Amino acid sequence: MLRHPILSLCASFLIAGANLVQAASGTCPAQSVVLRGEIPGAGGTHYIETVTLSRDAASTSMSGRWNMTRFTQDIIYPWVLRPPMNQAPIKTDMGFEGRWMNCGFTTQGTVLSTECTGGNYYLDVWDGKIGLRANGNTIGTVQGRDFQMRFGLEGQQQYNPILTGRAQDGPPNEVNLSISVQSGNEGRHVFSTDTPAKLVLELQVTTDPAELAEQVIWDIPEIPGSMRTLDPPTGMGAQMRVTYSGMPASNSAFGEKTVSASLDQSACPIRDSGTFKVYFPRDTRNHPEPNPDWPNWLYYWKQTACGRPFNRDIGVVFAENAPNDCKPGVAGFYAYDEARVLDEAVYLCNLPQTLGEDMKVDIAGLAYVPTAPTVQERFVYTGNDRRFTGIDTFGYTLVHEYLHYRNYARFWKPLGGHYYTQLQPLYDKDQDGIPDSMEPSMGFDPTKTLTYAPRQDVAAFLTYDEHWLVLPPADQAFKGGSCNAQDWAKPGKQWE
């Protein structure tokens, strides 16, 4: 009785000291033949075709039914195929007596690759012929263990390559393979704080029998914008060291990546994969140009939705060296003085420096109802206070300061003068940031810097009336957690 050997591939990710195993396995046939052929086409196009036939019982006679377990086509064009395409496998008529397989295709560079597996495709071998014995249709011949065949409709076979291959018996024993990816912290890897930054993966594989380890093929992901180096450079072997040099320019290049390994034993290729996540050191300044003075968190978070308040690509001035403005507890500001007025831009402080490691800010819940009859109903403390940290603080701060800019552009920019030296003495005598002439219609007192505050602590938080036109709409516009999925900082929302 023949024992069908099993090849199994197990990906083991070392997570917090544990050895967690995910497994993939495939049953290898007792006998198989891989046929391959190629033909150059018109205009420099090259065509390669591969077919795998197998059966469950080995025999010295090649006669009998052979299942087609795999069929591949590679068409190599003399130009790059754009845009890249990826079609998931679907049931496909193979054009031969109702036979079908599950076929999908991908493009990469100049190559269009099609792969078909499964289905009901089989061929008969009898009297040295290959085809369908029931109706006598033949597409090839067998001599001893050597197979030769050619697909294509009658009279058009010259457009298909001649496929040749030799039948082989399957491996005699069960084959096992396990992969180890030495993880940083629960599968999380962080670029170093060096310049240029580096990230190193150590991969290892063990097989039984041991000699198969050097045949393992690794599929290591690129990180766009970072240079990947493989050791050994062939991408094959029992051990693999992967080094990524230089931080990527795009925030989207961080995040979850997939590493795979495969072992192709004749007609039973086995493949398994696992994931790891890539992060950047938050407070270091080793990102690519431009803005080398920006910390990594500002460089990468500015690319997220939190860096675009009201979906505007506003400018940011990193005000780390403005100690009179960026005091402890201050996240950012908008300046009205002549030398620092900005258009479609705001000032941002060094958040870990002014707010602490977690970048924590507490925002009072307020509502402004300008048409309410009394000040108590007009200026309301809702009690819906919110606390932001990390990228949420960053996002909220840009929304908040951009609203200050909008108020400046609305109230003062049309008057065409400098606020402190020309406009405030004439038009804003209570120094609350709103033109005195407009205040009554908006429910404010033009003689008071802060018309009303429902509580003492809220008064200290507000300080002047224009803040009533900033805090409630900022609270409505920014929802915490909206950028968590884009935050690949350590520490950060995805790291927590």
**Mean pLDDT estimate for the chain:** 88
Which of 143, 169, 195 delimits the end of a domain?
169
Inside any domain, residue 47: yes
Q: Which residues of 427-464 are buried (b: 16+ CB within 10 A; e: fewer)?
A: bbebebbbbbeebeebbbbbeebbbbbbeeebeeebee
Could you tell me if 185 and 231 lie in one domain? yes
Which of 169, 200, 222 delimits the end of a domain?
169
Could you tell me if 222 and 124 lie in one domain? no
Inside any domain, residue 286: no
pTM higher than 0.85, yes or no?
Answer: no
Cα–Cα dist 36/165, whole Å: 7
Contacts of 434 (CB under 8 A, 6+ apart): 407, 411, 428, 442, 444, 465, 466, 469
pLDDT at 113: 94
The band of 171, judged by pLDDT with boundaries at 50, 70 and 90, is low
Cα–Cα dist 479/331, whole Å: 17
Could you tell me if 359 and 455 lie in one domain? yes
Could you tell me if 452 and 409 lie in one domain? yes
Tens digits of residue pLDDT in 82-111: 998 999 999 999 877 889 999 999 998 899
Tens digits of residue pLDDT in 318-369: 999 999 999 999 999 999 998 999 999 999 999 999 999 999 999 999 999 9
Inside any domain, residue 495: no
- Judge whether residue 76 has pLDDT over 70: yes
Bridge pairing between strands 64-76 and 175-182: unpaired
pLDDT at 131: 92
> What value does the mean pLDDT take over residues 4-14?
31
Domain that holds residue 271: 6-26+174-280
Could you tell me if 321 and 430 lie in one domain? yes
Could you tell me if 400 and 431 lie in one domain? yes
Cα–Cα dist 65/31, whole Å: 12
Torsion of CA 370, 376, 377, 378, to 10 degrees: 10
Could you tell me if 164 and 241 lie in one domain? no
Q: From the CB of residue 393, how many other CB atoms can be counted at a distance below 10 Å?
A: 22
Could you tell me if 469 and 454 lie in one domain? yes
For residue 468, give the nearest of 447, 437, 494, 445 by alpha carbon.
445
Number of structural domains found in the chain: 3
For residue 204, give the nearest of 226, 233, 183, 184 by alpha carbon.
183
Q: From the CB of residue 304, how many other CB atoms can be counted at a distance below 10 Å?
A: 20
Inside any domain, residue 285: no
Could you tell me if 265 and 321 lie in one domain? no
Which of 253, 280, 307 delimits the end of a domain?
280
- Judge whether residue 10 has pLDDT over 70: no
Token representation of residue 19: 């050895």
Task: Determine contact, residues 358/364, Cβ cutoff 8 Å.
Answer: no
Tens digits of residue pLDDT in 382-438: 999 999 999 999 999 999 999 999 999 999 999 988 999 999 999 999 999 999 999
